Structure 1
Amino acid sequence: MTLSAKYTTWIILLIVVGLMLCIMSLEKTPVAYPQFRRFKSYHVAVDHFSPTLHNVAVPMHRIFLNKKHNGIKEHVLLTKTSSDLNTGVLDWKKQMTSKTYKGIHILATGRSGSSFLGQILANSGRVFYMFEPGRLLDKYGNRPNIQNSYEQLHRYVNMITSMYHCRFENMEVYLNALMKLSYENQIDQIPELAGLGLDVCNTKKHAGRSHNGCSPITSELMTKICKNKEFIVIKTIRISDIMNLTQLVNDNEVDFKIIHLIRDPRGMILSKLKAWFIDVKTKMKVEHRHVFDVQDLSPGMYSALDHWCKVWIKDASIGQQMVSKYMTVRYEDISMMPLMSTREIYDKLGLGEVSEHVVNWLNEHTRESRGDEYSVSRNSKLNAEKWRRDMTYMLAKRIQELEKCGKFLDRFGYIKVKRPQDLTNASLSFSGKKYQHNEYN
């Protein structure tokens, strides 16, 4: 063999060994989906946050991924943006142990029973509960409503994110609005504020005076009482897209969970008609009828209802990929089995045993209907399917025939009305069996 032939053989051998080492290295690289194989690193828990307000923008091409590390399932967002890839992979043990706040978010829409569910959680002594902060922004913020402006939605999510870190600086509009609520005897919407020097606002002798005479609600006070609780719970109906909560799902400082409240669209739309559409109720009174019919919903209302069914399906599909972060709850299950459902919710959210105080509250607020349409005191078992007595068969049928609402009813175990006489058949339930979900595996 010539000298040149020997060199050629060694060169070929070195090339083969090098290729084999490259292949072995690639096999150890974590691969989620084929389209990401060309990347060498994957950034999990994507966003890093400043100590002030956070950014809400999340690239829509990020996908949910369930990964296992040392036998532990964890939900992450996987992204292929260059900024994410340059940061490398976050240490898993650090990610799992760096949580300092426990946040629970009630994701719901109007007239879905979210106030009732919020109060169930608020009555736990371990919870700092905030009722719909966006309501005060819309009322006193002098800006477009949150649901009509992406910019305002951006601000709202930033504000909520800071609240889950017990940070209330730069929230003058919100804190001043709380002062007005306290003067209007509505401070119980944040129970922890009651009795902290704010009772002066709730006496008749101060009627007609400026709310500035009340004890101040400061950022320092809110931070103090927030940090004194183990869980931070926020109920909102102004965030419909679960993707707007992804920055919290991936926040290393917050052990964040979403409780997604859904409701039978037949019951939800009836509740909306009664609470919000005075013109429809006036028309029915003139016509001497007490049951809602097909013509009482405009084409736009049917379209909006079908949109909500679509949103609920999408949010549930995404949420159920968030291992340990998400659970679906049906309003009907809470209404028909309040104590059983509350125990299940408390257990899965980590709130522990249901206290005697919570049991007494449930007994008081689920046996008798009191107050107006916004009251949380209901005969809950009757209220769950009250819609069947307040709408015609043709209206129920029309809702069931909406494309997305029909799919929604089937997916979440609701029963469709097949005959007019079924509505008055007390032996039938249209809520079906209790919805069984496999979240929190």
Structure 2
Amino acid sequence: MASKPIYISLIVIFLCTAMSVYLYQDIQFKTRHSITTGVKEIGQRTKKKMTKDIQFQTQESLTKVRKIKTATEQRTKRTSAKVSRAVRMTLLLAYARTGSTLTGEILTLQSKNFYLFEPLHGLIKSLQNQTEVTFLNGSTRAISTVNEINDLISKTLYNWFTCNFEELDMASLTDFFLDVFTPEHETYVTCLGPRNKTRDISIETVQRCVGILQDRCLSMTSVTIKTIRTPMKSVEYLLQTIRHLKVIYLVRDPRGMFLSRARVGMLRWNELEEKSKMICEQIDNDIEEFNKLYTKYPSRLKRLAYENLCRNPIFVAGKMYQFLRLPYMEIVKYQIRNITTGPILKCSFCTKRGDALGNAYKWKKDIKEDRLKVIDKYCSNVYQKLAYRYLSYQQLKKVKETWQAHVDLMQV
């Protein structure tokens, strides 16, 4: 009897143990299943998120690629246009107060012309304050010698002529002179922002706006640049690299040039000797360089006397247009006649002042004998080379004109 309870106890223990094992295995299975399911769900969610991230990044990358491709295509298109187009290109090289603004206007009366009035103004001004030049493409260049300045002037003019604005310096592209006498560039200047002479414009702003200037340049059939800041030394590079380029070298009687500068505040009389020596030496060097270039490129250079243009503007302008192979239409002649012989206006920097010949020789009435002697001392050799008459003070007061018309293949 004693063994029966023991037997029953053993059975109960066995059953409890079996039940425990079963429950443990069931819990373990459910736990593993739950963990596996959770892991799978996490994996699926992670996979979906990664897929979305990859899709977003891919889309973003494709957008960037498309933008880069579009910009590249636009640059390629513009570059192709620059390389393939054959346009008339004219460089009017002069000195301050020689009638260059008037002459520049006469040369640009034809339609479809991209005109630049003193594009070196900003660059030269910036070089007076610093020696490092910053370009639109982000590069910089240190300038310290005269040869480096002349080289920079050559390359800058080349880039203006070829509409290659990405290689231009920031000072040139943001100069407040950009729409002086050229209101057609006002849209670009407005895009740059508020006007003031000391504005600091970022590269990003210019990059955003420069397409306006470039598209206009590429759509024109001729490009004309008027500059009083270019030495003749810088011209040969342009003649070598731009086969369509023609150069008009504008000169004026130095006596009239100095008197005109003094009248508008560009010259003080106490510095006349210093300026006469420096400027006439520069003119003399330019004449020698011009003569050398003329022997190499006789069909691409002409010298123009301002006084000759004022004496017979319709005829001389016609000779210039013929030299540049530009159509000389009646409307152009009418405009030239209106500019040079219309009503007389008192304005030192205007082109429509009337009585062109009277303005050209106004200095003869105003010059004083002592000042004439200073100018003669340093500039008499220039008179001879440019066909101006060397005259005493008394003789000067008696003659009407100082420039001598003569046969000269280099002269317009």
In the other structure, the counterpart of 1:250 is 240
Per the TM alignment, residue 101 of structure 1 is displaced from its structure 2 partner at its CA by 3.6
Provide, for residues 242-272 of structure 1, a one-character-per-residue CA deviation record: whole Å limited to 9, x for no partner: 2312122112x54111100011111111112
Question: TM (normalized to structure 2)?
Answer: 0.65
Aligned residue identity for 2:396: L
Map of 1:393-432 to 2, 5 A cutoff?
393-402=369-378, 405-418=379-392, 420=394, 422-425=395-398, 428-432=400-404
In the other structure, the counterpart of 2:130 is 143
Q: In the aligned structure 2, how far is the partner of 1:171 from the partner of 1:365? A: 35
Q: In the aligned structure 1, how far is the partner of 2:211 from the partner of 2:113? A: 18
Q: Tell me, yes or no, if the aligned pair for 2:159 and 2:168 is still in contact at 8 Å.
A: no
Structure 1 residues 167, 430: closer, same or farther in 2, change over 3 A? same
Q: Does 1:228 align with 2:203?
A: no
Provide, for residues 342-364 of structure 1, a one-character-per-residue CA deviation record: whole Å limited to 9, x for no partner: 11101111112144145225413
Q: In the aligned structure 1, how far is the partner of 2:217 from the partner of 2:348? A: 30
Aligned residue identity for 2:275: M
In the other structure, the counterpart of 2:73 is none
Q: In the aligned structure 1, how far is the partner of 2:206 from the partner of 2:288? A: 44
Per the TM alignment, residue 396 of structure 1 is displaced from its structure 2 partner at its CA by 2.8
Q: In the aligned structure 1, how far is the partner of 2:330 from the partner of 2:308? A: 20
Q: In the aligned structure 2, how far is the partner of 1:389 from the partner of 1:356? A: 35
Aligned residue identity for 1:255: H
Per the TM alignment, residue 234 of structure 1 is displaced from its structure 2 partner at its CA by 0.8
Q: In the aligned structure 2, how far is the partner of 1:261 from the partner of 1:320? A: 15
Aligned residue identity for 1:161: Y
Query: Secondary structure of the residue that 2:250 maps to in structure 1?
Result: strand
Of 109, 120, 123, 2:109 maps to 123
Q: Does 1:299 align with 2:273?
A: yes
Q: In the aligned structure 2, how far is the partner of 1:221 from the partner of 1:197? A: 6
Q: Tell me, yes or no, if the aligned pair for 1:342 and 1:354 is still in contact at 8 Å.
A: no
Q: In the aligned structure 1, how far is the partner of 2:371 from the partner of 2:294? A: 31
Q: Tell me, yes or no, if the aligned pair for 2:95 and 2:228 is still in contact at 8 Å.
A: yes
Provide, for residues 310-351 of structure 1, a one-character-per-residue CA deviation record: whole Å limited to 9, x for no partner: 124313312321221100000111122111111110111111
Q: In the aligned structure 2, how far is the partner of 1:135 from the partner of 1:198? A: 15
Query: Secondary structure of the residue that 2:335 maps to in structure 1?
Result: helix
Structure 1 residues 244, 138: closer, same or farther in 2, change over 3 A? closer
Of 259, 265, 284, 1:276 maps to 265
Per the TM alignment, residue 440 of structure 1 is displaced from its structure 2 partner at its CA by 9.4
Query: Secondary structure of the residue that 2:349 maps to in structure 1?
Result: coil
Structure 1 residues 345, 298: closer, same or farther in 2, change over 3 A? closer
Say which one has the larger Rg. Answer: 2
Aligned residue identity for 2:228: I
Structure 1 residues 358, 127: closer, same or farther in 2, change over 3 A? farther
Q: In the aligned structure 1, how far is the partner of 2:224 from the partner of 2:236? A: 17
Q: In the aligned structure 1, how far is the partner of 2:382 from the partner of 2:284? A: 8
Provide, for residues 209-246 of structure 1, a one-character-per-residue CA deviation record: whole Å limited to 9, x for no partner: x998x999833222221122221111111112x23121
Query: Secondary structure of the residue that 1:221 maps to in structure 2?
Result: helix
Q: Tell me, yes or no, if the aligned pair for 2:150 and 2:233 is still in contact at 8 Å.
A: no
Q: In the aligned structure 2, how far is the partner of 1:276 from the partner of 1:149? A: 27
Per the TM alignment, residue 139 of structure 1 is displaced from its structure 2 partner at its CA by 4.2
In the other structure, the counterpart of 1:388 is 364
Q: Tell me, yes or no, if the aligned pair for 1:131 and 1:236 is still in contact at 8 Å.
A: yes
In the other structure, the counterpart of 2:151 is 154
Structure 1 residues 357, 429: closer, same or farther in 2, change over 3 A? closer
Aligned residue identity for 2:182: I
Q: RMSD of aligned C-alpha atoms?
A: 3.7
Per the TM alignment, residue 399 of structure 1 is displaced from its structure 2 partner at its CA by 2.7
Q: In the aligned structure 2, how far is the partner of 1:279 from the partner of 1:307? A: 19
In the other structure, the counterpart of 1:164 is 161
Question: TM (normalized to structure 1)?
Answer: 0.61
Structure 1 residues 148, 364: closer, same or farther in 2, change over 3 A? farther
Q: In the aligned structure 2, how far is the partner of 1:173 from the partner of 1:159? A: 11
**Structure 2, gaps ≥5 residues long:** 1-75, 77-83, 134-142
In the other structure, the counterpart of 2:294 is 320
Higher helix share: 2
Provide, for residues 125-175 of structure 1, a one-character-per-residue CA deviation record: whole Å limited to 9, x for no partner: 142110111112234676359998543443332121112112111436256
Aligned residue identity for 1:267: G
Q: Tell me, yes or no, if the aligned pair for 2:91 and 2:248 is still in contact at 8 Å.
A: yes
Structure 1 residues 437, 157: closer, same or farther in 2, change over 3 A? same
Structure 1 residues 428, 121: closer, same or farther in 2, change over 3 A? closer
Q: In the aligned structure 1, how far is the partner of 2:392 from the partner of 2:172? A: 51
The percent identity for this pair of structures is 20
Q: In the aligned structure 2, how far is the partner of 1:243 from the partner of 1:230? A: 27
In the other structure, the counterpart of 2:327 is 352
Provide, for residues 69-90 of structure 1, a one-character-per-residue CA deviation record: whole Å limited to 9, x for no partner: xxxxxxxxxxxxxxxxxxxxxx
Query: Secondary structure of the residue that 1:407 maps to in structure 2?
Result: helix
Of 187, 200, 216, 2:179 maps to 187
Query: Secondary structure of the residue that 1:105 maps to in structure 2?
Result: strand
Q: Tell me, yes or no, if the aligned pair for 1:101 and 1:254 is still in contact at 8 Å.
A: no
Q: Tell me, yes or no, if the aligned pair for 2:100 and 2:226 is still in contact at 8 Å.
A: yes
Per the TM alignment, residue 373 of structure 1 is displaced from its structure 2 partner at its CA by 2.5
Query: Secondary structure of the residue that 2:116 maps to in structure 1?
Result: strand
**Structure 1, gaps ≥5 residues long:** 1-50, 52-97, 281-295
